[in-house]
Copies of this chain bind each other. A is one copy, B any other.
Amino acid sequence: MPHDVSPRDERAAVDLSVPDEVACALCACGGIEGLTAQIPTDEDLERLSAEHRACADTCRLKILSLLRDQPLCVCVIKYVLGIPDSKLSYHLSVLKKAGMITGEQLGNWIIYSITETGIRYLEG
């Protein structure tokens, strides 16, 4: 019993043989062109992927979870996580570049706060 297939016909307007299910869906969404139009702009793709990449690390997620309820200075975060300064500083810079946190200098200290974006991404 052969599967229904739409081979190289007008429906898909493209030289592809695909299962009927898929050919149907393709038609309904405007064919290959309609599909292509669903892809976000390069700019949006870059921003989105950079944001996800910033959250793609357990150490950075820990930092975000610590900042969720209140701003903290670097030394407290360091104390809680028990990691070297330079490592913490690196991860803070990644989070900051991606817009997940902001830092404000207060005398000798830098107080980091989570952003709306950071909260949103922390939820998962």
Considering the chains assembled together, what is the distance between the CA atoms of A50 and B61 in angstroms?
Answer: 11
Give per-residue flags for A55-96: 1 if the beta carbon is below 8 A from chain B beta carbons, else 0: 111100110011011111101100110000000000000000
User: How many residues of A are counted as interface, with CB atoms below 8 angstroms from the partner's CB atoms?
Assistant: 53
Give per-residue flags for A94-124: 1 if the beta carbon is below 8 A from chain B beta carbons, else 0: 0000000000001111010000000011001
Quickly give the copy total for this chain: 2
Q: With A21-B71, A61-B49, A111-B21 as known contacts, state yes or no: A26 contacts B76, CB within 8 Å.
A: yes
* Nearest 4 CB-CB pairings of A with B: A53-B56, A25-B70, A52-B55, A3-B107
Question: Can you list 14 A-B pairs, Cβ within 8 angstroms, ordered by A?
Answer: A18-B75, A19-B73, A22-B72, A26-B70, A29-B69, A35-B80, A39-B65, A39-B66, A45-B58, A45-B62, A46-B58, A48-B55, A52-B121, A53-B53
A interface list, Cβ under 8 A from B: 3, 14, 16, 18-19, 21-22, 25-26, 28-29, 32, 35-36, 38-40, 42, 45-46, 48-58, 61-62, 65-66, 68-73, 75-76, 79-80, 106-109, 111, 120-121, 124
